[in-house]
Amino acid sequence: MPDELILDKEHLTGFLRKIAKERELVAPVKNSHGDTLFEVVSSVDDISLDLESKPVMPAKNFFLPRTETLFHYQRKGKQYLFKEVLPEVPRVLFGLRSCDLWAILFLDVVFQENFKDRYYLNRRSDTVLINIGCREPMRNCFCKSAKSGPFLTQGYDLQLTDLGDRFFVEIGRPRGRELVEKWDYFFRPATNRDRDEQYEIVLEAESRFERIVDFDTAISRFINNEVDDALWEELGNRCQGCGGCAYVCPTCYCFNIVDRPDSETEGQRLRIHDACTLAGFTRLAGGHNPRHERSRRVRRRFYHKLPFAQEKYHRPSCVGCGRCVEICFGRVDMIHFIRMVCERPEKSKEASLRLGEILVRAGVISTEELKIALEKQDRTGKLLGTQLIEDGLATGKEIAFALGRQLGIPETVGTGGVVGR
């Protein structure tokens, strides 16, 4: 079977019907309210397949559900028992946008590296991914800048291109080939004309992107610490802490693990999507939060998506789907962020702060009080911290924290990682 085939559109339903007999079929469906969502298709006849628009949510939820049960637990007398729940569904995801498919490949790496995540991998292991290339960028799309679309060169099982009356089908991974070989009578080999036509469409699609998002500049400025605090401050103010950006992002995978009691003797351990823009994400049991300020959390988010992912995976963990752009209340999204960073003049290197200044900035003492303490210190020869404590202007704890900041020690150092919590 050649690598490039043609599927006439009139055969699409028939092909999907065959697939759906053996696997759970998931496809973008426009519902009666006008929203397009990835739905589990129980009958190919009563749905309106929507291959034209971007589904509201990415496909990650099929592998990493919003809420999933990791196991059931039970208490019997003094015993504490666990009952594993490991899902396994043979599935085909049809009509993925290229960006969404690319995102799944990204998640594959995360959940396979080091410790294997059985929940994700079980759901993922028997899944066929079929994407459809985008002939035209949709609103807020920038997959071209993110190098994850509009068409893929690898990673898919099958990739479709809409050629008007027919689909051009490229076979990628073996699972795609298996599927096509099994139902080969729906397909015919592509001709050179088909190939040329498809190639033109790809070129045309790539040329239509208006949004050019300069990931490289943004990442390099970020790494070199050239993004000034005022920008983070502004983004921190604009972020409403809804968590939406993480929930809709196809590559955001951070999660929380919690117990949901069902009764006095039974319950479930759940895994729930989490969002790093929330304060509770990093707050410690004792109440201290290393990322207390929203600006820090926003900064962390972009750090994770850009330099962190670049360092670890050699690409940003943004696929340019534009969903965060679409939904963010305060425009704290990837496009606006990168634009702000790139347009910003370089910041002047900040001189390292002295202890007194740190205390003033933290609101512990006023400039006036600092002045007086410094003068007094001249006479007594004591350390500034000691002087301030003696004068009752600061507590030992406050001095310690300021000292820690001056030494570049996070406020969570030294507590045994995990001591006694």
Partner 1 sequence: MEDRAQILRKMVANIYHPHSASIQGVKEETRDIKTLTLVFKDQEIQDHFTFQPGQFVLVSVFNCGEAPISISSSPTFSEGLQLSIKKMGLLTGEIHRYTEGEEVGLRGPYGNGFPLDELCGHNLLFVGGGIGLAPLRSLIQYVFSKRSEFGRVTVLYGARTPRDIVFKDDLAAWGREKDVKVLTTVYRDNPEWKGEVGPLSPLLEKAAISPSNTKAIICGHPAIISYVIFDLLKMGFAEDEIISTLERNMKCGVGKCGHCSIGSKFTCMHGPVFTYRQIKEFPSVL
Partner 2 sequence: MHRVLTTCCFCACGCNLYLEVEAEKIVGVIPSREHPIARGNLCLKGWNSSEFVHHKDRLRYPLIRKNGRLVKASWEEALDLVAKKLSDIKERYGAECLGVLSSAKCTNEENYLLMKFARAVLKTNNVDHCARLCHSPSVIGLSNAFGSAAMTNAISELAGAEVILVTGSNTTEQHPQIARFIFDALARGAKLIVVDPRRILLSRFAHVYLQPRLGTDVIWLNGMMKIILEEGLFDDAFIEMRTENFRAFSEMLRSFDLKHVQAISGIPVEDLRRAARTYASVKRAMIIYSMGITQHISGTDNVQSIANMAMLTGHVEQECTGVGPLRGQNNVQGACDMGALPGTLSGYQSVADEGIRKKFERVWKTDLPTAPGLTATDMFHGTGDKKIQAMFIMGENPALSHPDLKTTRAALQALEFVAVSDIFLTETAEFADVVLPAASFAEKDGTFTSTERRIQRIRKAISPVGTSKPDWQIIRELSSRMNCPMDYESPAEIMEEIAMLTPIYGGVYYDRLERGWGLFWPCPNRDHPGTPFLHKGSFARGKGRFEYISYRPPAEIPDDAYPFYLTTGRIYEHWHTGSMTRRITALSREQPEAFVEINPKDAKRLGVANAKPVRVVSRRGEITVKARFTDDVPEKTVFIPFHFREAPANILTHGHCDPGAKIPEFKVCAVRLEPVQ
Contact residues toward partner 2 (CB under 8 A) are 31-37, 39-40, 56-57, 61, 65-68, 237-238, 240-244, 247-248, 256, 258, 260-263, 267, 272, 274-275, 278-280, 283, 287, 323, 326-331, 363, 395
Instruction: Indicate which of partner 2, partner 1, none lies near residue 11 (CB less than 5 to 8 Å, by partner kind).
Output: none
Strands 67-76 and 266-273: antiparallel
Helix (H) or strand (E) holding 267: strand 266-273
- DSSP for 106-122? HHHHHHHSSS--HHHHH
Q: How far is the CB of 232 from partner 1 (least distance, A)?
A: 9
- Is 25:94 a contact under the CB 8 Å cutoff? yes
Does 32 help bind partner 1 (rule: CB under 8 A)?
Answer: no
| Backbone φ and ψ of 364, nearest 5° | -75, -45
Instruction: Indicate which of partner 1, partner 2, none lies near residue 177 (CB less than 5 to 8 Å, by partner kind).
Output: none
- DSSP conformational letter for 141: -
Instruction: Indicate which of partner 1, partner 2, none lies near residue 65 (CB less than 5 to 8 Å, by partner kind).
Output: partner 2
Instruction: Indicate which of partner 1, partner 2, none lies near residue 253 (CB less than 5 to 8 Å, by partner kind).
Output: partner 1
95: left (phi over 0), alpha (psi -120 to 50) or beta: left
Instruction: Indicate which of partner 1, partner 2, none lies near residue 330 (CB less than 5 to 8 Å, by partner kind).
Output: partner 2
Instruction: Indicate which of partner 2, partner 1, none lies near residue 242 (CB less than 5 to 8 Å, by partner kind).
Output: partner 2
Does 276 help bind partner 1 (rule: CB under 8 A)?
Answer: yes
* Number of residues in contact with partner 1 under rule CB under 8 A: 73
Give dist(CA 276, CA 304) in Å, integer.
Answer: 10
* SS3 state at 324: helix
Does 267 help bind partner 1 (rule: CB under 8 A)?
Answer: yes
Q: How far is the CB of 46 from partner 2 (least distance, A)?
A: 13
Selected from 285, 352, 363, 379, the binder of partner 1 by CB under 8 A is 285
Q: Which is nearer to partner 1, 312 or 354 (CB)?
A: 312
Q: Taking CB under 8 A as the rule, which mask of x and - marks residues 106-145 in contact with partner 1?
A: ----xx--xxxxxx--------------------------
Return the residues of window 241-260 that contact partner 1 according to CB under 8 A. 253-259
Give dist(CA 389, CA 378) in Å, integer.
Answer: 16
Instruction: Indicate which of partner 2, partner 1, none lies near residue 84 (CB less than 5 to 8 Å, by partner kind).
Output: partner 1
CB atoms within 10 A of CB 128: 20
Instruction: Indicate which of partner 2, partner 1, none lies near residue 307 (CB less than 5 to 8 Å, by partner kind).
Output: partner 1
Does 181 help bind partner 1 (rule: CB under 8 A)?
Answer: no
Q: Taking CB under 8 A as the rule, which mask of x and - marks residues 290-319 in contact with partner 1?
A: xx----x--xx--xx--xx--xx-------
Strands 127-132 and 158-162: parallel
Q: Which is nearer to partner 2, 61 or 220 (CB)?
A: 61
Give dist(CA 39, CA 126) in Å, integer.
Answer: 18
CB atoms within 10 A of CB 277: 22
First and final CA of the chain: distance in angstroms? 60
Helix (H) or strand (E) holding 403: helix 396-406
Give dist(CA 272, CA 68) in Å, integer.
Answer: 7
Is-cis flag, bond preceding 150, omega within 30? Answer: yes
CB atoms within 10 A of CB 189: 11
Q: Which is nearer to partner 1, 285 or 351 (CB)?
A: 285
Residues linked to residue 43 through DSSP beta bridges, in sequence order: none
Q: Taking CB under 8 A as the rule, which mask of x and - marks residues 340-379 in contact with partner 1?
A: ----------------------------------------
